[in-house]
Chains A and B, each alone.
Chain A
Amino acid sequence: MTITFTLNDRSVTVDVEPSTLVSELLRDTLELTGTHVGCDTSQCGACVIHLNGESVKSCTLLAGSVDGQELRTVEGLAGGTDDLHPMQVAFRDNHGLQCGFCTPGMLMSSIDLVNRNPDPTEEEVREWLEGNICRCTGYQNIVKSVIAGAQALRDASRGDDHA
Chain B
Amino acid sequence: MPEVVGVGASPKRKEDLRFVTGHGNYVADIKRPNMSFGVFLRSPHAHALIRSIDTSEALEQPGVKAVFTGEDMKADNVGGLPVGWGISGKDGNPMKEPPHPPIALGKVRYVGDAVAFVVAETVEQAEAAAELIEVDYETLPHVVGAVEALQPGAPQIYDEVPGNLCCDWDLGDCAAVDAAFETATHVTSIDLVNQRLVGNPMEPRAAIGEYDAANGQHTLWTTSQFPHVVRLLMGEMVLGIPQHKLRVVAPDVGGGFGVKQFHYAEEAVVTWAATKLGGAVKWVCQRSEGFISDAHGRDHVTQAELALDTDGKFLAMRVRTYANMGGYLSTFGPNIPTNLYAPLLSGVYVIPSIYCEVKVVFTNTVPVDAYRGAGRPEATFVVERLVDTAALEMGIDKFEIRKRNMIPTESYPYQTPVLVEYDSGDPLGCLERSMELADVAGFAERRSASEANGKYRGLGVSTYVEACGLAPSRLAGQLGARGGLYESANVRVHPSGAVTVLIGTHNHGQGHETTFAQIVSERLGVPFENIDIVFGDTDKVQFGMGTYGSRSLVVGGSALNKASDKIILKGRKIAAHQFEAALEDVIFEKGEFSVSGTDKKKSFPEIAGAAYVPFDFPLETLEPGLEEQAFYDPVNFTYPGGAHICEVEIDPDTGVVRLDRYTAVDDVGTIINPMIVEGQLQGGIVQGVGQALFEHGVYDEQSGQLLSGSFMDYCMPRADNFPDFTIKPHSTTCTHTPMGVKGCGECGTIGSPAAVINAVVDALRPLGVSHVDMPASPNRIWNIINNSGARAAAE
Contact = CB atoms under 8 A, between A and B. Distances in A.
Contact of A34 (B24, B286, B508): B24
Interface stretch (B52-60, B201-209, B459-467): B201-209
A99 B718 contact: no
Nearest to B257: A135
B202 A44 contact: yes
A139 B257 CA distance: 16
A103 B252 CA distance: 13
Interface in A125-163: 125-127, 129-130, 132-143
Interface residues of B, number: 55
A36 B719 CA distance: 19
Contacts of B287: 38-41, 44
Interface in B14-37: 15-24, 26, 28-29, 31
B203 A139 contact: no
Contacts of B16: 91-92, 97, 100
Contact of B24 (A100, A107, A143): A100
Interface in B693-725: 710-712, 716, 718-720, 722, 724-725
Interface stretch (A50-58, A60-68, A76-84): A76-84
A78 B17 CA distance: 11
Given A77-B21, A98-B509, A138-B685, A132 B712 contact: no
Contacts of A77: 21
B254 interface: yes
Contacts of B711: 39, 41, 43-44, 133
Chain B contact residues, majority secondary structure: loop
B716 A136 contact: no
A98 B748 CA distance: 15
Contacts of A107: 20
B255 interface: yes
Contact of A99 (B508, B684, B710): B508
Interface centre among A31, A34, A104 (most CB of B within 10 A): A34
A50 to B, nearest CB: 13
B254 A95 contact: no
A71 interface: no
B254 A126 contact: no
B510 interface: yes
Interface in A20-53: 27, 31-41, 43-44, 46
A41 B724 contact: no
B516 to A, nearest CB: 16
A114 interface: no
A127 B721 CA distance: 9
B686 interface: yes
Contact of B203 (A75, A101, A137): A101
B12 interface: yes
Given A44-B287, A137-B683, A36 B725 contact: no
A35 B286 CA distance: 16
B682 interface: yes
Contacts of A73: 22
Given A40-B286, A74-B22, A77-B21, A143 B719 contact: yes
Contacts of A92: 12-13, 16-17, 20
Contacts of A104: 22
A88 B26 contact: no
Interface in A68-123: 73-75, 77-78, 81, 84, 88, 91-93, 95, 97-104, 107, 122-123
Contacts of B720: 123, 126-127, 129-130
Which one of B18, B28, B716, B720 has the highest number of Cβ atoms from chain A below 10 Å of its Cβ? B720
A97 B21 contact: no
SS class of chain A's interface: helix, strand, loop or mixed? loop
Question: Most chain-B CB neighbours within 10 Å: which of A31, A127, A140?
Answer: A140
Q: Which among B21, B29, B202 has the highest number of chain A CB atoms within 10 Å? A: B202
- Which of A39, A75, A130, A142 has the largest count of B CB atoms less than 10 A from its CB? A39
B691 interface: no
B638 interface: no
A75 B509 contact: no
A132 to B, nearest CB: 7
Contact of B21 (A75, A93, A130, A138): A75
Interface string B670-692: 00000110110011111100000
Contacts of B676: 95
Contacts of A141: 679, 682
Nearest to A94: B675
A122 B725 CA distance: 13
Nearest to A90: B20
Contacts of A74: 20-22
Nearest to B19: A100
Contacts of B235: none
Contact of A139 (B28, B201, B722): B722
Contacts of B31: 31
Contact of A140 (B508, B510, B682): B682
A139 B24 contact: no
A102 B29 CA distance: 14
A-B interface, 3 closest residue pairs, ranked by CB to CB distance from nearest: A34-B22, A101-B254, A100-B19
9 contacts: A33-B26, A35-B22, A107-B20, A130-B720, A135-B716, A136-B202, A138-B682, A139-B682, A140-B682
Interface of B: 12-13, 15-24, 26, 28-29, 31, 124, 200-204, 252-255, 257, 286-288, 508-511, 675-676, 678-679, 682-687, 710-712, 716, 718-720, 722, 724-725, 748
Given A33-B26, A136-B509, 4 more contacts: A84-B20, A95-B676, A133-B716, A139-B718
